[in-house]
């Protein structure tokens, strides 16, 4: 699937808010690549969260931080 998708060119315009949560130690999807992609996105509202000392995947500490982030997002 990734061979047919160019994230830096395809589907960069969103009509909904975009919140990107990135682990600072992620080697599968690096923070540099995800930030570059995020900067190209157009959305009515967007925010980039860089989680310190976290990688790609879920563990209890990452889930707790994500829950805090989701609860902090204001909805209409």
Instruction: Collect all residues with Cβ–Cβ distance below 8 Å to 43 and sequence separation of at least 6.
Output: 13, 14, 15, 16, 17, 18
Query: Does residue 59 form part of some domain?
Result: yes
Alpha-carbon torsion 45, 48, 49, 55, what sign?
positive
DSSP state of 46: E
Secondary structure E strands in the chain:
18-23, 46-51
Query: Does residue 43 form part of some domain?
Result: yes
* pTM, full prediction: 0.81
Query: Does residue 6 form part of some domain?
Result: no
Query: Does residue 3 form part of some domain?
Result: no
Query: Does residue 2 form part of some domain?
Result: no
Question: Strand 18-23 and strand 46-51: pairing?
Answer: parallel
Query: Does residue 44 form part of some domain?
Result: yes
Q: Which domain holds residue 50?
A: 11-72
Query: Does residue 28 form part of some domain?
Result: yes
How many Å apart are CA 29 and CA 34, to the nearest integer?
7
Q: Give me the number of domains the chain comprises.
A: 1
One digit per residue, pLDDT tens: the chain, 76 residues?
A: 567 778 788 889 999 999 999 999 999 889 999 999 999 999 999 999 999 988 887 778 788 888 999 999 876 5
């Amino acid at each position: 699937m990734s061979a047919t998708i160019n994230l830096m060119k395809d589907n960069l315009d969103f009509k909904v808010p975009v919140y990107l949560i990135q682990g600072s130690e992620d080697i599968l999807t690096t923070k540099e690549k995800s930030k570059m992609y995020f900067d190209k996105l157009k959305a009515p509202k967007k925010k980039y969260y860089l989680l310190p000392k976290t990688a790609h995947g879920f563990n209890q500490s990452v889930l707790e931080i994500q829950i805090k982030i989701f609860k902090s997002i204001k909805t209409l």
